[in-house]
Structure 1
Amino acid sequence: MKTLNFRVILFIFALIFGVVFSIPSLMQSESGKKITLGLDLQGGLHMLLGIKSDVAIASRTKSIAGTVKYVFDDEEIIFDDLRMVDGDKVTFELLDSDDVTKATALLKKEIPGIVINQNGMKFTVQMTSKEMARTKQNAIKQAVDTIRNRLNEFGLAEPTVAKQGEDKILVEVPGIKTQADEQRIRELIARAAHLQLMAVDEDRAARVSTMSAAEAKSYGDVILKDVNTNEKYLLRQIPVLDGSMLTDAKVGFDKSNMPVINFSLNGQGAKIFGDFTAKAVGKRMAVVLDNKVYSAPVIRERIGGGHVQISGNFKLEEAHDIAIALRSGALLAPVFVMEKRSVGPSLGADSIKASSIALALGFILVIAFMVIYYSMAGVIANVALIGNLFLILAIMSLFGATLTLPGMAGIVLTVGMAVDANVIINERIRELLHEGKSIAKSIEDGYDNAFTAILDANVTTLIAAVVLYAYGTGAIKGFALTMSIGILASMLTAIVGTHGIYQWLLPKMRKEKLNLWFGIKTEGAK
């Protein structure tokens, strides 16, 4: 028998690799990387969310107002009575007629998609209908991305977050088994995480306890309550800056060892913050999160660097969740639960049992057919098939992939595709043996003749799988992933591995034993 060739060595290495890295998943050990089971296999939370896209219009309008203030202050344009009206308009009055042309040009340059109406020195800025529609669609897209980022940062394995229809969002979170976990996830998803730094209206703050919301609005103010004491604050409606300028948020601890949230601002935010605090020494600025005041400290001096702290008697878990929400970005519009259901672990266990039986039964029948029909050639194909399965499990384990029911269907399909390659190869070899060629020549030519057909079939299937993964969601991605890994693994095991085994065993093959080796009886083979 010849020395082991490089193809056999490569196959042995692949087999060892597959077995070693599959063990944590197969044994469900505590250590090592493992395959994560999807919602349909381990149970979890399924939600269909709606989105209040009209709120996105108001949020975008408030952002426009903030831009107007920043641009005019930066260009030293004198204005007054800047406020929001009806949730979708920004009004202000210029005090110098010489600034009209310059102000109009700046607004058109800095704020795309707006209509500017002028009545003397009073201006109204509003989004175009096209910009409003785009803002609503952006709110949905941004909500999908934000919720996905929050769940990923929370440490959940492969949550599914996808747009469904025109204005709905599908969320599936596997592994949620308790009511407490479910409630925490729902709060994390629904948290707007809208951060604003707002100036206190010091001129009227003393009257805030007797002031109505309508009166506050007439001054361009808003009344918000303290998150802990319910104390009322009268704040300027247009924020100094908001969370869109935030770059990072982390949990820290103050001098009393209580959790706080430290966040950093980008360059523009740091400049605005520094300029404002320089002009507002001795006045208060409120840190507002989701329309609740967490603190309203007095500004003692200019604060540079763009670093701000939120303190509010947080629990550590709450501070952690808020920091995740801030890092992931604010929701442009609130979401609400339209439909919710929990998939119990017992249902997932039934799915695993049923699919495992299907996989095992299909695997056994394929192995039996290959041995009966192709004899030792079938045994070699089965060895490659076992190696293929271990490789699929190992690669999925290393990447922490999620296995779903469609993913298991992909594995079953891959078993059929992998053995199909060996069927093509064995038939080519048998045809050549029938023609009277030697065993060595038949094996080499058989692989050469079969390779093109196998490669074409696998490449076209792989392209389809890649497209499914790129454009599919949830379970479709799981199916595409397992099929893609299976195709690539089968190219190694079913073609390279079996070829090497044939070359290694070739000295043992004799023409009088072709029935043993290939399941045929033929004359003329040498």
Structure 2
Amino acid sequence: MLQLSMWKRALIILLCLAAVIYAVPNIFYDRVERHNDAVALIEAGQDSPELQAERALWPDWAPSYLINLGLDLRGGAHLLAEVQVSDVYVDRIDALWPEVRDLLRPERATVGGVRRMPSEDPGVLRVAVSNEDGLQQALEIVQTLSRPMQTLTGIGQQDLAISIEDGQIVITLSQAERLATDDRTMAQSLEIIRRRVDEVGTREPTILRQGTDRILIQVPGIGSAEELKDLIGTTARLTFHPVVRTTSDANTTPAPRQLVLPSMDQEGVYYVLDQTPVVSGEQLVDAQPDFDQNGRPAVSFRFNPSGAREFGLYTADNIGNPFAIVLDNEVISAPVIQAHISGGSGIITGRFTLEETTNLAILLRAGALPAGMNFLEERTIGPELGQDSVDAGKIAALVAMAAVLVYMGLSYGLFGVIANTALMLNIAMIFAILSMIGGTLTLPGIAGIVLTIGMAVDANVLIFERIREELRTARGPARAIELGYEKAMSAILDANITTFITASILFALGSGPVRGFAITLGLGIITSVFSALFVTRLLIVFWFERRRPKTLKL
């Protein structure tokens, strides 16, 4: 007979109520968004009467999840950046000099003194030895630095090209290593940009690689392209350098392989540093806002095993000497090494506020960009253009829904009204799920919802037509309804599973707008099946138990 257990009824009702409750905030989008922004600022310690008034626009006890609107619906910033991958070659070659020097140091009796020579190409390391007779032996020693490539495209090749030119040892990256470095640099840049955007609370940005050295960045809801550039362009490059001396002259000319950087805390104080860092921020694995021994805001950090080893060896060999902690070409502090620092952890102190230590920790965790970027194209898409898209999407969705509601009502009478009620709940479920997962709605996403509206009643049509067929076999209304749902289920599942597979493929292989369409289509399929098989059945059960009809008019 046509029955549903009490726990199933309760579960279906609770799910429908939850869908409506979590979808409602999107109806009052502006008020809820202002409430959420005010709550975030108040929790950050920026309380004021104006913020309290904004907070009061929406009850604190009510759900306040919202769907994120995409760039085409809300406006935002668009950037096309070119990554300076050649910078990575220079850093890589520069880091080889200490290794070359340390390798040749035990062989001074044979090769003589070792010097780094100037090079017109910063991506080339030139090394001279004072004893020309030992040049070949020096070359053989330095060649041990070269390693076999580990990438598929570089199998059988070395990562370094090392040779003798004009009586000097010349070291550069091999062509295969340059190609592999380009891929690593682009992948790292993409990941760091994505982390930085995500860390500040902006969701669902579009960050894609274009060509060999370009990255497309689109972030909805951000004020301007300049604001996005400030976020992306902040390097937060942390390095630790040996201190040569201090000076008060900003125009001091450093010796070769040295640099002059200002102090962040002490105005008029400049540090002359060894250009090659002992440890760099790329070896950081964690950074957290903290407090120093005097209770002042600071940032604690921790290195990976290789960074911890290098940091420990340096501090063990340089007790009593100062070393500089450099952040974005400014010396935060230059403490004197009092003892061997093992464990690979430490703390950065300075004149920080609590908010500054939080932001610094975020940037350090995200990592430094491996190379500089030139912004080739920048656009700010105003919210008024997005509003036009929203309005057009609303009209399309309302027209589609009105057409479906009228058709179902005229075709199936009371059962059509039940199907229409389930359709409304279906749309609420889609919006509720998107809100709870922080999904982004784009113009193609609206197209997916409009398509879902048309597809949602397909299952009901199959069920109602099957009930009609069962009624023609002179079965009772209750049995006809039960068989209609049972026999239509296989066709409903087959049709929706294949469509869901298609949506999954679109999501896996697509990007940007295609993914937005795939998400709403996939969610719509799941909610449509649920509303057709369970919500409409529950409504029919309620109606049937109350009226006990002898016949059905479909």
Fold equivalence (TM over 0.5): yes
| 3-state SS in 2 of match to 1:131 | helix
Name the stretch that deviates more: 315-324 or 190-199.
Answer: 315-324
Matched residue type, 2:147: K
Task: Assess if the C-alpha contact under 8 Å between 2:324 and 2:335 holds in 1.
Answer: yes
Relative contact order higher in (CA < 8 Å, ≥ 6 apart) = 1
For residues 387 and 491 of structure 2, what CA distance do their matches in structure 1 show? 40
Residue of structure 2 equivalent to 1:52? 84
1:176 corresponds in structure 2 to 222
Q: 1:427 to 1:156 in 2, by over 3 A?
A: same
Aligned residue for 1:401? 439
- Indicate the percent of aligned positions where both proteins have the same amino acid: 36
- Residue 89 of structure 1 is matched in structure 2 by 124
1:376 corresponds to which residue? 414
5+ residue gaps, structure 2: 33-57, 151-157
Q: In the TM superposition, what is the alpha-carbon distance from 1:494 to its structure 2 partner?
A: 0.8
Change beyond 3 A, Cα 1:3–1:423: closer
Deviation at residue 319 of structure 1 after TM alignment: 4.2
State which of 188, 192, 210 in structure 1 corresponds to 2:235. Answer: 192
Matches of 2:12 and 2:125 in 1, distance apart?
Answer: 69
2:249, 2:270 within 8 Å by CA — same for their partners in 1? yes
Matched, 1:430 2:468: yes
Matching of residues 215-364 of structure 1 within 5 Å: 216-217=255-256, 220-227=257-264, 229=267, 231-253=269-291, 259-311=297-349, 313-314=351-352, 317-364=355-402
Residues 1:130 and 2:159 are matched in the alignment: no
TM-superposed deviation, 1:377: 1.7
Whole-angstrom CA distance in 2 between matches of 1:147 and 1:67 = 31
| 1:412 corresponds to | 450
Most deviating of 27-36 and 331-340: 27-36
CA distance in 2, matches of 1:69, 1:448: 80
Partner SS for 1:333 = coil
Q: Which residue of 1 aligns with 2:517?
A: 479
Aligned residues of 2:2 and 2:478 also touching (Cα < 8 A): no
Give 1:328 shift: 0.6
Q: Which runs of 5+ in 1 are unaligned?
A: 519-526
Q: Distance between the aligned counterparts of 1:395 and 1:346, measured in 2?
A: 27
1:155 is matched with which residue?
A: 201
**SS of the counterpart of 2:240?**
strand
Letter of the 2:510 partner, please give it.
G
Aligned residues: 504
**Alpha-carbon separation, structure 1, partners of 2:295 and 2:75:** 38
2:71 paired residue number: 39
Distance 2:328 2:118 in 1: 18
Deviations 1:425-481 (A, max 9, x none): 222222343455544444344334432322222112212222222333333322222
Give the AA of the match of 1:138.
Answer: R
Tell me by how many angstroms 1:167 deviates. 2.6
For 2:239, what is the secondary structure of its paired residue? Answer: strand
Match of 1:522 in 2: none
CA distance in 2, matches of 1:53, 1:35: 37
Q: One-letter code of the match for 1:56?
A: V
User: What is the rounded CA distance, in whole Å, between the counterparts of 1:36 and 1:466 in structure 2?
Assistant: 21
Which segment drifts farther, 58-67 or 367-376?
58-67
Match of 1:23?
24
What is the one-letter code of the residue matched to 1:40?
Answer: D
Cα RMSD, aligned residues only = 3.6
- Report if aligned partners of 2:148, 2:159 keep a CA contact under 8 Å in 1: no
Classify 1:212/1:455 alpha carbon distance in 2 versus 1 (closer, same or farther; 3 Å). Answer: same
Q: Structure 1 330/366 Cα, relative in aligned 2: closer, same or farther at 3 Å?
A: same
Contact 1:114 1:131 in 2 (8 A): yes
SS at match of 2:308: helix
Check whether the contact 2:81–2:373 (CA below 8 A) recurs between aligned residues: yes
Larger mean CA deviation between 126-135 and 292-301 belongs to 292-301
TM-score by length of 1: 0.83
CA distance 1:366–1:340, change in 2 (3 Å): same
State the partner residue of 2:154.
none
